[in-house]
Amino acid sequence: MRETPSQELARQTAEKLGAEVAAAHGPRDEKPFALSARESNGGWIGGINGVIHWRWLYIGQFYLDPERRGQGIGRALLAEAEILARENECVGIYLDTFDAGALAFYRKCGFEVAGRIDNFPPGAARTYLSRTFQG
């Protein structure tokens, strides 16, 4: 049965599902994080944000000004994300993208394709990637 979307309905659904998943897999213990890249004058040029849960670091959003790409800044941000993940005893990092250039970048950085949905968004493909840590 359809209902008018509400914060209460969303909260109730999330709470019930969260309790069921936690009973089977342990609590999420979700911890948000944000990293940034800045110019020498302090101006923001990019960043990564997401959450750490179930011993994985999830990159929800990763942006770098287009004119700053290809200069090693994105790799440096990913390296900082890995340090953060290891400090939090994570076993790996996961993310998704629908940009072909970003997909190539992540693969060069050691991420492996974990799944793909074609035509999402229309005319593209959403690709899910992960990278596990050794040692």
112: CATH: 3.40.630.30
With respect to residue 2, please indicate whether it lies within any of the assigned structural domains.
no
**CA 69, CA 72: separation in Å to the nearest integer?**
7
pTM over cut 0.75: yes
With respect to residue 42, please indicate whether it lies within any of the assigned structural domains.
yes
For residue 48, what are the domain limits? 7-132
Task: Say if CB 30 and CB 53 are below 8 A apart.
Answer: yes
Name the more confident of 32 and 5.
Answer: 32
- Average pLDDT taken over every residue of the chain: 95
pLDDT at 117: 98
Total tally of structural domains belonging to the chain: 1
What residues are paired with 123 via a beta bridge?
Answer: none
Best CA proximity match to 105, nearest among 134, 86, 77, 135: 77
- Angle subtended at Cα 17 by Cα 59 and Cα 2, rounded to the nearest 5 degrees: 105
With respect to residue 1, please indicate whether it lies within any of the assigned structural domains.
no
**pLDDT per residue as tens digits for the range 53-99:** 999 999 999 999 999 999 999 999 999 999 999 999 999 999 999 99
What residues are paired with 34 via a beta bridge?
Answer: 49
**Cα→Cα distances 35→50, 83, 101, 119, 123, Å:** 9, 11, 21, 30, 31
**pLDDT per residue as tens digits for the range 90-106:** 999 999 999 999 999 99
Q: What is the DSSP string of 23-82?
A: HHH-----EEEEEEEE-TTS-EEEEEEEEEETTEEEEEEEEE-GGGTTSSHHHHHHHHHH
With respect to residue 72, please indicate whether it lies within any of the assigned structural domains.
yes
Band (2; pLDDT cuts 50, 70, 90): confident
